[in-house]
Homo-oligomer: A and B are copies of this chain.
Amino acid sequence: MVLASFPDRSWAEEVGPVDGVEPVIWHPAEGLPPAPVEVVVAPYVFDASPLAIVADVPSVRLVQLLTAGYDSALAVLPPEVALANAGGVHDASTAELAVGLALASLRGIPEAVRATAGGRWGEARTRESLADRRVLVVGYGSVGRAVAARFAPFEVRLTAVASRARPGDDLVHRVHGVDELPELLPEAEVVVVVVPLTDATRGLVGEAFLAALPDDALVVNIARGPVADTDALFRHAGRLALALDVTDPEPLPEGHPLLTAPRTLITPHVGGNTTAFRPRAVRFLREQLARVAAGEEPASVVRPGTR
C-alpha cells in the first residue's frame, strides 16, 4: 500500500478509491503528518513555503503539485524528494485565457468596457484582427501546445519556440530554439509567453526582447510575472500592447503605474482558477496515484528525487 496524503477530505473523496493507495488527510501547514506518507498532494495555493516541512518527513518520495508552475516548490523542497507539477491540468483554462487576452486586446474590449462603464457607447474604429496575425508561442510544453491548438483555427501564422529546437507537430512545421528569438521577434505580431519560471527564463521578456518587437505587437504573459521585466514592460507599453495575467510583483500594489499603463490589460493571475481545474485535477491525481501504486514512473516529474 502507498500512503498518499490529500490536503483535505474533499480531494480524497473526489479522487475516490485507487487500487494500492491508502489515503491520508494532511495539510502541510498543520505540522507533521499523522502517518509516514510517501506521496504528498500539495494544497492548491501559489505559496509553497509550507511544503518545506517535507524535509522532516523522511517517508516522502514524491510531492505532487496541483499547479502548473513549480518554481516556488522547487525552492523549498529537499533534493531527495521528487516533484511533479499538475501537467495538463491547467492547459485548457490557461490556454483559453491566452486567447481571450489576445482577442480582448486586439479587438478593443478594454476600451469598450471603459466607455460603457461611463454610460457611453464605445468608439468603433478599425482594429487589428487576430486573423492574419503572426503568433509566436514562446514555451512549447503542455500549456504552450494547448495555446497553439486554440489559436490554430483563427487563420493565424503560428510559430513555436522552446528551450531547444526540435521537429514540429500537427500545429507547427518545427519548434524553434530560444536562441532563434532575435530573428523571430521582429516578425512577431502576437507573442504568447508560456515558459516555466527558471533561472534561464527569469527576465527573458526584458529590454532586448521587447525592443526587438515591431510597433503595435502584442505581448501576452500567462507564464509567471518574473519571466518579464516590469520596468521594461512599462517602457514599451503604448508602443506595444500588453496583456498580462501575471506580474512582478504580484499582486501589483494599488496605484502601480503598470496598472494604468497605455494599451495594457491586466487580469489578476486567474489563468488556472476556473471550473476547468477540479475535474481535470481529480482525473490527473487518480491516474498519477495508480501509476505510483503500480510501481511505474510518475508523470509530469519536473525534478526527480533520490528516495
Contact = CB atoms under 8 A, between A and B. Distances in A.
Contacts of A274: 107, 126-129, 131
Interface residues of A, number: 61
Interface string A62-105: 00000000000000000000000000000011001101110110
Given A109-B100, A110-B113, A121-B251, A129 B92 contact: yes
Contact of A131 (B92, B154, B155, B252): B92
> Copies of this chain, how many?
2
B276 A132 contact: yes
Contact of A154 (B92, B119, B264): B92
Interface string A104-146: 1011111011111101111111111111100000000000000
A303 to B, nearest CB: 27
Interface stretch (A21-29, A198-206, A228-236, A254-262): A254-262
Interface stretch (A51-59, A265-273, A281-289): A265-273
A51 to B, nearest CB: 21
A27 to B, nearest CB: 20
A275 interface: yes
Contacts of A153: 149-150, 152-153
A255 to B, nearest CB: 5
A42 to B, nearest CB: 18
A101 B137 CA distance: 22
A274 B126 CA distance: 5
Interface string A19-42: 000000000000000000000000
Contact of A127 (B106, B126, B152, B275): B275
What are the 4 A-B residue pairs with the smallest beta carbon separation, nearest first?
A: A100-B103, A129-B276, A129-B274, A92-B131
Given A96-B103, A113-B114, 9 more contacts: A92-B129, A92-B131, A93-B129, A97-B103, A107-B267, A114-B117, A124-B270, A126-B274, A129-B277
24 contacts: A92-B129, A93-B131, A96-B107, A96-B129, A97-B107, A99-B99, A100-B107, A104-B104, A104-B109, A109-B113, A109-B267, A112-B268, A115-B268, A116-B260, A119-B260, A121-B252, A121-B254, A121-B259, A124-B273, A127-B273, A127-B274, A129-B274, A129-B276, A131-B274
